[in-house]
Amino acid sequence: MMRARWADWHPQLALFIYSIPANAAVSLLSHEVALLDYGINQPMLLSTTVATGATAVAGYLDWHVFVPLLQTGKLEKYKSSRFARYCMDRFQQMPFTVIFAAAFTPIPFAPFKLLAFSANYPLRNYLSAVVLARAPRYLLLLWIGRELHLARWILVVGLVLVFVVGLWHVGSDWQKLLSRRRLT
């Protein structure tokens, strides 16, 4: 008798569990690759709902971690820089639209999340913008996965590349930080 993997037993539970850390403010995981894969064999509307729900959970957790962290006085030096003030001023002109556009498009979303957290943007508005933008994006990714039928090995290679590039950037950032500390 062959033992089934837990992901085979309930793929939507696997998608939900994977999507929470993949949608965290700081993540090296790619939810796009998972959704392209799920589009091949899983129900699109159910997968969209599950991934969007997990994204809402990640957004809720992020907001409760990063808003208090970014409101501490330790980061005032960075928040008071000219560039940070410029970004914050632009963000506060249309925060919902900025979050919605960044969450829907393929541009990196993390900087816009941090703007929302730094501005102490209300949780309800933040989650509304994220959910309203991510649900159609997820449906589109699932549809693309269904139409393209990419081989799983291509998706795995793509996921590994994203992870390696992310680790490389994190490593270089840590290296810069440590070298700056040595100089002071």
Encode pLDDT of 162-180 as tens digits: 778 777 777 776 677 667 6
User: Burial of 102 by CB count in 10 Å (0-12 exposed, 13-18 middle, 19+ buried)?
Assistant: buried
Q: At what angle do helices 44-70 and 110-118 cross, to 10 degrees?
A: 50
CB atoms closer than 10 angstroms to residue 137: 20
- At position 172, the amino acid (one-letter code) is S
Q: At what angle do helices 44-70 and 123-148 cross, to 10 degrees?
A: 140
- 39 SS3 class: helix
> What does the domain layout of the chain look like in residue ranges?
8-150, 151-184
Q: What is the pLDDT of residues 73-113, one digit of tens each?
A: 777 777 778 888 888 899 999 999 999 999 999 888 888 99
Residue with token string 């290296």: 175
Is the pTM above the cut of 0.75?
yes
Structure tokens at 114: 């941090």
**More confident call, 3 vs 48:** 48
